[in-house]
Copies of this chain bind each other. A is one copy, B any other.
Amino acid sequence: MRKNQAIRSGEAVVGFVPTMGYLHQGHASLMQAARQQSDIVVLSIFVNPIQFGPNEDFDSYPRDEERDVETARTEGVDIVFIPSVQEMYPQPTQTTIAVSGITERLCGASRPGHFNGVTTVVSKLFNIVQPQKAFFGMKDAQQVAVIQQMVHDLNMPIDIVPCPIVREEDGLALSSRNVYLSTELREEALVLSQALRAAQEAVDSGTAVTADDIRRLLREHIGTAAHAVIDYAEIQAFPSLEPLAGDEPLQAYEDLLIALAVKFGKTRLIDNIRIQKMEVPSLV
């Protein structure tokens, strides 16, 4: 029993999966990664009020604690932590952690204060759980970049493990917010993954494609959906999220993120794809 030995010797690796609950296969993949890479797996479920704006969906955010606990059990989670808002914020927090730069673009621009709420609560959860590793889904790629920056800047002794996006068979990225979608909007939302795939093909084609070419291509694809309202459709360097100039050829970049935020009715969905340059073995 490696696990029990590790616990007895005080050397157990704690792997942490912070979530807002309403767990789906994307969360399950995080728990599986944590299970493989840690001795003790801790899952937290907390819909964090301070990362929602005043007109956002904090109250209506879907919750199903009983089913979530069952999912955690199935995935071999050791500890599920479900604090109340009162426990996490007995008084309104006077302390805020803010990351500048990378939080000002994409979701940070559309959702002011959102990332301060995320970094503050994640830091609280890190201090409570004290994990060696924490697992985050790349669907929230900007969140991953922001948390990695915080961990680096503040010397937090935690290894951030980003895990790939999990998709439905038809390509829709899994999200707790997908339950908001009507059948019709659910169908329309497929333009997101389709636009990203088309963009990836364009980048991979080897032709002299520019950042603006990609932006145009994304908007054209998404525009085919009747109810889609684009919040952003962007391409940038990862993880700095530095915006690329419009006429910039993409060949110069080692690591790119193409990211979308689009509203379908009242439901705002995000999706992204990361394109990393492969090391091609030289023939010389």
Chain A residues with a Cβ under 8 A of chain B: 9-10, 93-102, 119-120, 123-124, 127-128, 130, 149-150, 153-157
Contact = CB atoms under 8 A, between A and B. Distances in A.
A175 to B, nearest CB: 27
A-B CB proximity, top 3 nearest: A95-B153, A10-B10, A127-B155
Contact of A101 (B94, B101, B120, B155): B94
Nearest to A90: B152
A17 to B, nearest CB: 18
B154 A124 contact: yes
Contacts of A95: 97-100, 119, 149-150, 153-154
A53 to B, nearest CB: 19
Contact of A94 (B94, B99, B120, B127): B99
Given A10-B10, A98-B98, A93 B157 contact: no
Contacts of A150: 95
Contact of A154 (B99, B102, B123, B157): B123
How many copies altogether?
Answer: 2
Nearest to A127: B155
A97 B96 contact: yes
A24 to B, nearest CB: 28
A154 B93 CA distance: 8
Given A95-B97, A128-B155, 14 more contacts: A9-B10, A10-B10, A94-B100, A94-B153, A95-B98, A95-B99, A95-B119, A95-B150, A95-B153, A96-B100, A120-B154, A124-B154, A124-B155, A127-B157
Contacts of A100: 94-96
Contacts of A93: 153
Contacts of A99: 94-95
Contacts of A156: 127
A89 B133 CA distance: 23
